[in-house]
Amino acid sequence: MPLSVPPPADAGVWGTPLLGVAFRLVIWQPLREFLIAFYVFKNVVIPERPRYTFTVYQRISQILVDLIVTENYQEMVASSAPEASGTLCFLRRYRLVPKVYFPEQIHDVVRATKYFLQPEVLHKYSVDPGRVGISGDSAGGNLAAALGQQFNQDTNLKNKLKVQALIYPVLQALDFNTPSYQQNMNTPILPRYVMVKYWVDYFNGNYDFVQAMIVNNHTSLDVDEASSLRARLNWTSLLPTSITKNYKPVMQTTGNSRIVQEIPQLLDARSAPLIADQEVLQYLPKTYILTCEHDVLRDDGIMYAKRLESAGVEVTLDHFEDGFHGCMIFTSWPTNFSVGIRTRNSYIKWLDQNL
């Protein structure tokens, strides 16, 4: 069956090893080819009794899932739900840096999702068009959030998303001194310096800017391009006192305007969904956001939840005090951590109740 929206020839992965970067995971061994390239799924036979992380629903539904690569997901997915024959999981791979840079990754995900939402494709796989959700973690959460915002504004789309689930998502690159960035600047797995470098990689920027960005020189008070966006991530008002504690905002009076002039993508809501207009946010679907205490990205998720709530969106903010970035993948021996199992189960429970 030819595709009306053909996939890119080189479907791959954006990122570096710690940023929710890859999608060659194995959800269910018979579906391996389905996961490698979404356009191969015409030959896939769904098992009668698959056991998926995202397939705890005993009804016909569809989840579009972007996840961190790890073989641990095979065991996690296979053991997480008792029955899942009513759910079809569609995993989308997108292309790598340095082969392509922002916004090509978003284009890949948008094209793939639009293809799958075509009525004839949904019908072929017996998918209820009213039960389609999208989910992603880390960088996948960034793309899922951006996709949700774009679809929300696309009047040509007949089928809309019912839910979005964002797992410790990356949502902004304007403030690298939120309380969670300050608290976890040297936390293993995703320290602040590494996170800033990932952003520069994504935009094909200059590494010479990294140190200046770490101290927020790219959004200083003399950078006019950032002035209208600061209120949208003003964490002194968006975060509760239990999170802000005694941390102070880092706002430079004079910075380096050259950074946003050379990397204007930093201020693009497609890369930083947290700074989207309120008018965009108010039509987003029911949302689940999982955050972890020991994660530089914690406050991105909490602030996004607050902005969505203010826009009238129904939001579940699921915070784990003992969680760390990427913890959901640690669910099988020898890294079968309690917090990995609990975050996974909490996520699945919400999807089961809301999709």
Q: pLDDT per position in the chain (355 positions), as tens?
A: 333 333 333 333 222 222 222 222 222 222 222 222 232 222 233 333 322 223 222 223 344 543 333 344 444 444 444 334 455 666 666 787 899 999 998 998 888 888 888 888 888 777 788 888 888 889 989 999 999 999 988 888 887 889 999 999 999 999 999 999 999 999 999 999 999 999 999 999 999 999 999 999 999 999 999 988 988 999 999 999 999 999 999 999 999 999 999 999 999 999 999 999 999 999 999 999 999 999 999 999 999 999 999 999 999 999 999 999 999 989 888 888 999 999 999 998 898 888 8
For residues 231 and 346, membership in a common domain is answered with: no
For residues 247 and 199, membership in a common domain is answered with: yes
For residues 238 and 339, membership in a common domain is answered with: no
For residues 87 and 143, membership in a common domain is answered with: yes
**Residue 320's beta-bridge partner residues?**
292
CA gap 19, 245 in Å, rounded: 27
Tell me the one-letter amino acid at 190.
L
Distances (CA, A) of 113 to 123, 135, 151, 263: 15, 12, 10, 28
Residue whose C-alpha is closest to residue 150's, from 268, 12, 6, 20 = 268
| Cβ atoms 351, 57 nearer than 8 A | yes
For residues 49 and 142, membership in a common domain is answered with: yes
The secondary element (H helix, E strand) that includes residue 316 is strand 315-324
Catalytic residue selected from 61, 135, 138, 332: 138
Please say whether the dihedral angle defined by the alpha carbons of residues 326, 331, 333 and 334, taken in this order, is positive or negative. positive
- 188: in domain: yes
For residues 157 and 186, membership in a common domain is answered with: no
Last residue of a domain, one of 267, 302, 332: 267
For residues 41 and 137, membership in a common domain is answered with: yes
- 3: in domain: no
- The reported pLDDT for the residue numbered 127 is 78
- 18: in domain: no
Tokens of 3: 């595709």
Residue whose C-alpha is closest to residue 46's, from 59, 29, 58 = 29
- 23: in domain: no
For residues 309 and 215, membership in a common domain is answered with: no
| Counted domains in the chain | 2
Indicate the Cα dihedral angle 69, 74, 76, 82, nearest 10°. Answer: 140
For residues 292 and 309, membership in a common domain is answered with: yes
- The reported pLDDT for the residue numbered 88 is 61
DSSP letter at 7 equals P
Backbone phi, psi, residue 55, to 5°: -130, 55
The secondary element (H helix, E strand) that includes residue 291 is strand 286-294
- The reported pLDDT for the residue numbered 72 is 46
For residues 144 and 231, membership in a common domain is answered with: no
- The reported pLDDT for the residue numbered 74 is 43
Last residue of a domain, one of 247, 267, 287: 267
- 11: in domain: no
CA gap 19, 219 in Å, rounded: 23
The residue segments making up the domain with residue 297 are: 29-172+273-354
- The reported pLDDT for the residue numbered 45 is 35
- The reported pLDDT for the residue numbered 7 is 36
Question: Is there a catalytic annotation at residue 138?
Answer: yes
For residues 63 and 146, membership in a common domain is answered with: yes
Cα 60-61-63 angle, rounded to 5 deg? 150
| CATH number, position 350 | 3.40.50.1820
For residues 248 and 301, membership in a common domain is answered with: no
- The reported pLDDT for the residue numbered 12 is 31
- 297: in domain: yes
Last residue of a domain, one of 236, 267, 298: 267
